[in-house]
Structures are given as structure tokens and as C-alpha cells.
Structure 1
Amino acid sequence: MKILLTGSSGMVGKNILEHPDAQNHEFLTPGSKELNLLDLQSVRAFFAAHKPDCVIHAAGRVGGIQANMANPVGFLVDNTLMGVHVINSAHEAGVKHLINLASSCMFPRSAANPLQESDILKGELEPTNEGYALAKITATRLCEYISRTDPEAQFSTLIPCNLYGRYDKFDPENSHMIPAVIRKIYEAKVSGSQQVEIWGDGEARREFMYAEDLADFIFISLTSMAKQLPLPELINVGLGQDYSINEYYRAIADVIGYQGEFVHDLNRPVGMRQKLIDSSIANSQGWKADTTLVEGIEKTYRYFVEDVLND
């Protein structure tokens, strides 16, 4: 298929393009100068000119708790506009296949774990990333409405758990937890610091998946679409296992070789206490995440040292 991949320069996009099965398709990977996703006319013109068979919408403004709290307006507005422009313009252009990448932050903060696809919009969202969640819910619902009203359209949403890996962001102001902790512990080791701070008590639990494993499932989904096989409207994609924040810190310290101690700042926000998703639907499609936590951290740390620090 000829596939428009938005967000091709981001972590998920680059892992998709590096996947062995990427050679089976023609990928369109426009930069922001060629395709401004915040400009509806730019998006419509791109679809008219290039006529893709399929879209993978992986673009978005992303960041951890600190970035979301600092700029909720940007996270809500930019992600909403990008999602609506890409998804609706694809439908208007006659595109029949679309994979929308959402986020597990769409689930209610008080929902029972493991989180099931049917839990979305069944309760209050986590306040620390509510703007981002609302934008992702809007895009997800739009896909569902299109699929339900157009029998020929297959617009499916994948809901990955938290991701990390090669091409992640390691900027302390905008990064997610694992790359942020890798940088923090690396810098503590280099400087000789004997203490590293953890926000909260470290007992909140998170599910982090290596980005290559998500790419594997995306290509399974593309194969199903190419064969005209049905895909569910919503599919959780995760490990099926979570770890505490303290466990992530210890695992990263072990990989880096840091021998100091951890101290907890109980005045810092920690977000949801647990966010483990039920990936049984994805598993039923013949997929399972293969990368262990230690393997993923080792690969990500190697990328940080060899590529990010030497850039």
C-alpha cells in the first residue's frame, strides 16, 4: 500500500520505517514544511496530490507530566487539530484504511486495572494530562464514527501503553519517564552524586513497552487491512505487565552501573497510581511484545550514549 505516515520523524515513526516489513509498502513521510498538520488546507491539498491508500497517524505533541502541566492548552489544541484534520481529510479523500495511534491516558483515572477498551469515557480523566487525553479521545471517537457510518472505511485506533526506545526524547523538560530517568541517573553517575530524586513515593505503577514491539503490531494490522480482514475499532497494545516507579529506577541504575541511593520527594505529582492495559485483543491477533524490560533499557541507554550524547 501507499501509506501516509504522520510523525515520521518521531520515535514511533522512525521505528515503523526501520521495521523489516516497511519495505513491503511505499511510505510518504512529509516534513512539516511540506505538510502542516495544523493547517486544514495543507492537509487536504496533500491528500489530493498524493492519494495514499492508507494513513498511520502517529504525529502529536507529546511529553511527560511536567510538560503536560506546563502547557495544557498546547497539548489539547495541537493534538485535537492534528487528529481531526488528518482523520477527516483522509475520509473526505476516500482513504479506506487508517490506523490512529492514541494513548492509555484516555482511560479514567479510577478505572479498575487492567484497563479494557470499553472503559474509555466511563469516568474522570487524570488531571495532569487531561488536555492530551481529551484530544486523543476526540480523534478516537472520530475514527469510530467514520467506521460506523461508512461501511467501506476501516479506521482503527491502537492504544499503546507508555512507550520508550530508540529515537526517544531525552530533554528533561519534555521527555517521558524512562528516557528522563536514564539521563538523570547517567548524569548522577558522571558527576559522582550519591543521591537521585524520585517524584512521590515511587510506588505508582506503569507499563512501558519498547517502541519496536508496537511497530510489530502495526505491521500485523497493515497486513490485515491489505487482505481486507476486519480489525476491531479499538485495540490496546501493551505488555500485560507493569512495574513500580522504584523498580524502573533500580533497573535503569543497574544497567548504567549507578551505585548511589534514591530519595523521594513526596510533594511532587505522580499521576495515576496504576495504568495497566488489557492487551488480550492484540494478543488474539497473533502478537505479543517480545522485548524484556532489561533488554529495552540496555538498547535505549546504548542509543542515548552513542547517538544522543554524540549529536
Structure 2
Amino acid sequence: MTPIIPLITPADRIFVAGHRGMAGSAICRALQRAGYNQILTASRQELDLLDAQAVQRWFAEHEPTVVVLAAAKVGGIQANSSYPADFLLDNLKIQTHVIETAWRSGVRRLLFLGSSCIYPKFAEQPIREEALLTGALEPTNEWYAIAKITGIKLCEALRRQHGFDAISLMPTNLYGPGDNYHPTNSHVLPALIGRFHEAAEAHADSVTCWGTGTPLREFLHVDDLGEACVFALEHWQPGPDELQFLNVGTGVDLTIRELAEQVAAATGFKGQISWDMTKPDGTPKKQLDVGRMANLGWRARISLAEGLVDTVAAFRELLSENLVRL
């Protein structure tokens, strides 16, 4: 049953690690909309999360009471394949430094943001939380996934051994304001938006996409994720024998081919779409079972059709102001 009294209050000093990223900025917006005004943030120049001593000094100085860990080294298939050590080492350091320091500093509640890539490549669909560690990972992002699994388990271990109130959410593929549109290091949806926008502007005859177009993916608007994080912080308190992490998504997926067609329409591209089948597809299907979050009282509200139109418009506005993260 959802508690009547929220588990966090406006008096809490809430540190959002990674506040400039797509997820972190959305979480900050959601917290502000919900009336939380004591939000602590730190840029990379102000706080290097890879430096354990710097993290400890920052916590001692600012004394957060609640922490949201949304900081991570992220990227698409090519980035994960090219820099496996970076993805594993950097994410392990960020997570260990922030989570351990939060526990040792007396932070009373922490939310760790994971990823749906933690699940086995051939997990039964839709993927339930119990699928974790039941099979082999997708090789194209296993380094990032292993780091995220470690973060989940660290939160779980600290709760079990020391009673630290740490919870985790596993979002599906995200899109929306603040995304990374780098042509090789971005995720599938922003990469498609950038590619089809350029093709539409150039009146190109065709656009080539990676793979076969058959894999199925689920997409969650980042503002829905922000609302889910605030909801979980306020209302979700798992018992000692319950799962310590929950899926967050829409529960609806579509093929990459269908996604490309929707992006082409949203950007005004009129040419042909071809597929380079020599490139990897990644996981064949990845749809989350979001029943547990729904049972708690939270569901995503922004449809892909609505969110895609707004995202393309926002991308073009930022592009005109030279503010797109490329």
C-alpha cells in the first residue's frame, strides 16, 4: 500500500549526481515541479566523481540527506565496443564513490538509476525484474551492463548488511530534451533524429541505418522517468525480502524499422530508407514488464508519437542555437 506520508520531504537536501545529463536534468525538473527546492548539484569542474576523496569532501561540506545517482558514462553500440575498459572502470568508480560515501555520510535515502541492458540477451519477454543474472548479456553493451548490475547489487548489499535505504530503478531506452546526438556515440533514437534531420535538410535520396531493422525496442520520454524517480523516492519502500529494484518504461515496443519510419516522418525526410545488414542488431527484443510500478500507482504518460514530435522540434531549436550535444 502506498504510504500516506511521503518518504522524502521539501526539507531534504537532495543531491542529483549527473544533473546536466538527460536523465539527471529531467529528475531535477520533476523534483522542482513537485515542490522540492533544496536541490544540490555539482558540475564536473566542481566535483569529479571519479575522485573518491573529492566525493568525500563534497559530501562533508554540503551534507545531502537524499541522493539520486544519475551520473554515468553512456553511449551506443559503437562506443561500448570501442571503449570497454572505460565503460566498466568509469562507471564502477562513479557508483562506488557516490553510493559508499552516501552510506558512510549518513544519507538517509538513495536512488540509483540503472538500465534495462542489465537483463540477459534472450530473457523471456516482457522482461520481469527476476530475470536479472539468469543468462548471458548482450555482448554489444556488456561492459556497461556489468557496471550497472554491480551498482544494483551494491545498493542491495548495503541495505541487507547495514540497513542503508537504497533503491534502484531500471529505465528502458530514454529520449527527449538533453540527449546526445553524436553521430557515432549516441543511442539509436537520437542518432536517427540527427541522421534523418541532416538528410531532410540536404534533400537526400536515401538514408542508411544499421542492422536489419527487425529488433524491437521500447522508448520512454525522459520527463516520464523524472516523474517515476520522484514517485519512487516518495512512495516506494521495499521490505527486506522484496526486490530492491523496479523496471520503468511504457510496456509498449516497436521495431527499429518502424521507429526509423516515424523519425523520417517527424523530420520531413521523403527519401528511401536502406539497411546495412553487415552491422550488428543488438538484442532482438527488449520490452520491460512494468507491472510492479503500475501496481504502486505510477504509469508513463507521454506517448512516443507525442514525445517524438516535441523532441525533433527541440533538437532543431537547439541546433539553430549551436547548443546540441554532438
The letter of the residue matching 2:125 is: N
Structure 2 counterparts to residues 1-311 of structure 1, below 5 A: 1-19=12-30, 20-151=32-163, 153-224=164-235, 229-230=237-238, 232-311=243-322
User: 2:247·2:290 contact (CA, 8 Å) conserved in 1?
Assistant: yes
Give the CA deviation at 1:53.
0.7
User: 2:15·2:41 contact (CA, 8 Å) conserved in 1?
Assistant: yes
**Residues of 2 paired with 1:300 and 1:202: CA distance?**
22
Give the ranges of 4+ consecutive aligned residues of structure 1 lying more than 6 Å apart after TM superposition.
none
The letter of the residue matching 2:219 is: F
**Residues of 1 paired with 2:295 and 2:161: CA distance?**
26
- Find the residue that maps to 2:246 and give its secondary structure: strand
- Find the residue that maps to 1:304 and give its secondary structure: helix
**Residues of 2 paired with 1:289 and 1:191: CA distance?**
36
Give the CA deviation at 1:137.
0.6
User: 2:249·2:300 contact (CA, 8 Å) conserved in 1?
Assistant: yes
Note the residue ranges of structure 2 that are not aligned, 5 or more in a row: 1-11
Give the CA deviation at 1:26.
0.9
Q: RMSD of aligned C-alpha atoms? A: 1.3
Q: What do residues 111-135 of structure 1 show as CA deviations (whole Å, max 9, x unaligned)?
A: 1111111111111111101110011
Give the CA deviation at 1:12.
0.9
Q: What do residues 238-282 of structure 1 show as CA deviations (whole Å, max 9, x unaligned)?
A: 010111000100111111121111111110011100111111111
**Residues of 2 paired with 1:21 and 1:13: CA distance?**
14
Give the CA deviation at 1:39.
0.6
- Find the residue that maps to 2:166 and give its secondary structure: strand
User: 1:224·1:230 contact (CA, 8 Å) conserved in 2?
Assistant: no
The letter of the residue matching 1:167 is: G
**Residues of 1 paired with 2:34 and 2:46: CA distance?**
22
**Residues of 2 paired with 1:24 and 1:57: CA distance?**
17
User: 2:16·2:28 contact (CA, 8 Å) conserved in 1?
Assistant: no
User: 1:21·1:219 contact (CA, 8 Å) conserved in 2?
Assistant: no
Give the CA deviation at 1:13.
1.2
Q: What do residues 140-169 of structure 1 show as CA deviations (whole Å, max 9, x unaligned)?
A: 100000111223x21001000010001111
**Residues of 2 paired with 1:139 and 1:13: CA distance?**
17
- Find the residue that maps to 1:198 and give its secondary structure: strand
User: 2:156·2:166 contact (CA, 8 Å) conserved in 1?
Assistant: yes
Q: 1:67 to 1:309 in 2, by over 3 A?
A: farther
The letter of the residue matching 2:321 is: N
**Residues of 2 paired with 1:84 and 1:49: CA distance?**
19
Q: What do residues 64-111 of structure 1 show as CA deviations (whole Å, max 9, x unaligned)?
A: 111111111111110011011111111111112000000111101111
Q: How many residues align?
A: 307
**Residues of 2 paired with 1:309 and 1:65: CA distance?**
28
Percent identical residues:
39
- Find the residue that maps to 2:225 and give its secondary structure: helix
User: 1:16·1:22 contact (CA, 8 Å) conserved in 2?
Assistant: no
Note the residue ranges of structure 1 that are not aligned, 5 or more in a row: none
State TM-score, norm by structure 2: 0.91
Give the CA deviation at 1:222.
2.2
- Find the residue that maps to 2:168 and give its secondary structure: strand
**Residues of 2 paired with 1:199 and 1:15: CA distance?**
29
